[in-house]
Structure 1
């Protein structure tokens, strides 16, 4: 039940501490019927019995993600979070039900067959995973039923134009002249700055990334090469991760909304239909465990190199913004969507930045890029300055409370500077 309420999973019965102890034949049938007897709605499972060379039986139960929230016949509800199954309280269950509802998810079937997919995209993915045929490739990823019908995920991933069946399965990108959208005659939307990216999910992400890169302002700043160069106001990896998360994990059952990327003079906002899972506190995004609303879509995009399925996406966005010295990302949740806001502003207060010499700011950028404590000599080498100059700048930064020296004594060879 916990797996079905999350993103599915696999249970093996008959192995203990890495050794096969087997399941008695009299128990195999009872275990197969557990879902039928003790869960409602019934959790969908596929059972397979494996037999070892010495005749011991191991039961393999594959659990599909559920379309609705499942509970025991006694009314208890559980959710798989990380490596544990948590019993949900009333409020937590209510959030999960709000998130799931009774709407279709990416494993729901559509009245289409393999012939309705874009043959070139199917062939490219088939080659990528080394499958013998399109049908076997689709079945291996849960994209085709035994009856030969496509799932929603298959059509969104490989359809030539999925918007024919899912009109709001697209990304819309808008750029404004002012920090407020405005309304009516006061609308601040720039001319020809409203772009809709359609096609399959991989095509949407690729096209949207190109448009965002074109729309985003840039500035001259010290780059990793040690020279001043043009760089975007927000790190590409940060906004790209936010875009990918929004497309992959949006609620495709919410037919009335689409992924929206809005670019203002001071920030970038990415809104994705659907709420966080039931146990998530949006004010603490770094504590969010991995949760895939669309596990089939996420798996295919992982194979294509678009996503990694490691649960590191939000952490990566924070790391990229902090490495550039920008304000932390902000997540907000409305009744039907999650919004990520990436600000263009520096994390340092203006008065602090203006009080520091350019050399000290250059040293601060070095520490941000490295992302770990390093010694004075390493700072000097990375910044291209002498050791005494680096020491002087480091002291200014320490006086400003921006960095801290850690060591046992002034001559400690392991002493290092770290960001506060």
Structure 2
């Protein structure tokens, strides 16, 4: 017999071992052998008959469960086997919940206890009812975005486009039995989910040589379904480089990080995040990028298992289902392999994955690192040059889109497939006007309701 995550050896019985029995019952079950030393030598127990009466009674009276207690013998020495089955309901000892994790026992409290109790009840956090239904709280644009993506991916019937908001949410099981909004509904389609969950943010910082050398930063908020699009747009416009090359006569800008892999990492961080915690964090350094989201890996899974072929296990199944139906993710646990494949295509090293500070950290190299000079001046110069170069590229795209027409801000953003108005104004329109390339048709009335722009 070998000691493992579900077997314990004790030389003699003590009532404190009821904690171990409680932990086994709350986890995957297990066995405790009384009368066997740590070196697996049978030392026997004294007064085995009394223990065979006392132990089962204490288990029933203190824990409310029944365990198999067997008297065994080896080399004329008696020892006791206590076999504990996993319990379908939470088990506590004097109001304290113990849990067997790996080869250790832990006391559950706070967020871990809340998550454990919901799991035992067959519920997940994103499936919990939050607030009464109100369409004023929901963003119909986000719902239409979801429907269009899902139809394009052939995972949603086009007839859903004709359904009202409540019907769409109901079809996705995002409403409770009494019609209230679940946590997932607010996160996915809420106008301001940050009012209810402080952790619904994506923080990005541009750093020089180390974390103390912050150059600039941004915070992305809003619904989590469209969050990855906003982050990618921001990374392209301010944080990462997109070198220009030509394919024949076609001018092509390719992001230095494989975009499909980048999106997969962003989707993973958003879908699997524990939204009771803090924001998703991204650190963009001179030579690499780090991405962290709160939420430990599922039980019995570590980074080594994550990097191999594995079953998909969602922390937030309601959220994951919507991302899947929108064609943004798969449900077969193939995300890591997709990331690996995309990095291999461009001959870049596979990202590193690490469990740290209650979450998952992903680190990956930049293809075009900045110079590693001392101090932040060099890094600041590099960032300024990078942004200026990209603004020029963006202005060129704007000039191509407008041609010889007069177009409004909305028309130009649609032509460029942009959704962030601030990004468009700061990095496209304003530089074009200040550079003398475009002019408003109502120059003295910048907020004119029929304002449009044309070549100067």
Q: 1:309 & 1:282 partners in 2: Cα distance?
A: 19
1:77–1:93: 8 Å Cα contact kept in structure 2? Answer: no
With normalisation by structure 1, the TM-score equals 0.54
CA distance in 1, matches of 2:298, 2:108: 9
- SS of 2:303's equivalent in the other structure is coil
- Whole-angstrom distance in 2 between the partners of 1:209 and 1:126: 21
Q: Give secondary structure in 2 for the equivalent of 1:340.
A: strand
Q: Which residue of 1 aligns with 2:214?
A: 189
Aligned match of 2:119 = none
**What is the CA–CA distance in structure 2 between the aligned matches of 1:96 and 1:220, rounded to whole Å?**
52
Q: What is residue 62 of structure 1 aligned with on the other side? A: none
Contact 2:349 2:365 in 1 (8 A): yes
Q: How does 1:16-415 map to 2 (within 5 A)?
A: 76-77=85-86, 90-91=101-102, 101-103=113-115, 105-115=125-135, 116-122=137-143, 125=146, 129=156, 130-131=159-160, 132-178=163-209, 180-182=210-212, 188-190=213-215, 193-218=216-241, 231-254=254-277, 257-287=278-308, 288-344=310-366
Of structures 1 and 2, the larger Rg is shown by 2
CA displacement, residues 114-163 of structure 1 (integer Å, 9 cap, x when unaligned): 42322333355467543444333222222001111110000001100100
Shift of 1:224: 8.2
Q: Secondary structure at the match of 2:125?
A: coil
Q: Distance in 1 between matches of 2:85 and 2:358?
A: 26
Q: 1:126 to 1:149 in 2, by over 3 A?
A: farther
Structure 2: unaligned runs, 5 residues or longer: 1-24, 28-64, 68-83, 89-98, 116-123, 369-456
RMSD of aligned alpha carbons = 3.6
CA deviation string 1:365-391 (max 9, x = no partner): xxxxxxxxxxxxxxxxxxxxxxxxxxx
Partner secondary structure for residue 262 of structure 1: strand
Distance verdict in 2 for CA 1:73–1:230, change over 3 Å: farther
Structure 2 CA distance, aligned partners of 1:293 and 1:94? 22
Query: 1:223, 1:286 → 2: CA distance?
Result: 36
User: Is this contact kept in 1: 2:311–2:332, CA < 8 A?
Assistant: no
In the alignment, the residues of structure 2 paired with residue 95 and residue 229 of structure 1 have an alpha-carbon distance, to the nearest angstrom, of 55
Alpha-carbon distance in structure 1 between the residues aligned to 2:101 and 2:253: 52
Which residue number in structure 2 is paired with residue 45 of structure 1? none
Q: CA deviation at 1:307?
A: 1.9
Which shows bigger deviation, 277-286 or 257-266? 277-286
| 1:237-279 deviation digits (Å, cap 9, x = unpaired) | 122211111011101122xx11111111111111001111112
Assess, with a 3 A threshold, how the Cα gap between structure 1 residues 209 and 228 changes in structure 2: closer, same or farther: closer
Is the contact between residue 243 and residue 256 of structure 2 (CA under 8 Å) also seen in structure 1? no
**What's the CA shift for 1:215?**
3.3
TM-score by length of 2: 0.50
* Greater shift in the superposed pair: 261-270 or 89-98: 89-98
Change (3 A) 1:231 1:118: closer
The alignment partner of 2:226 has SS state of helix
* Structure 1: distance between partners of 2:333 and 2:223: 23
Whether contact under 8 Å (1:235, 1:324) holds in the other structure is yes
| Structure 1 residues 136 and 316: CA distance shift in structure 2, 3 A | same
- Measured after TM superposition, the shift of residue 108 of structure 1 is 0.9
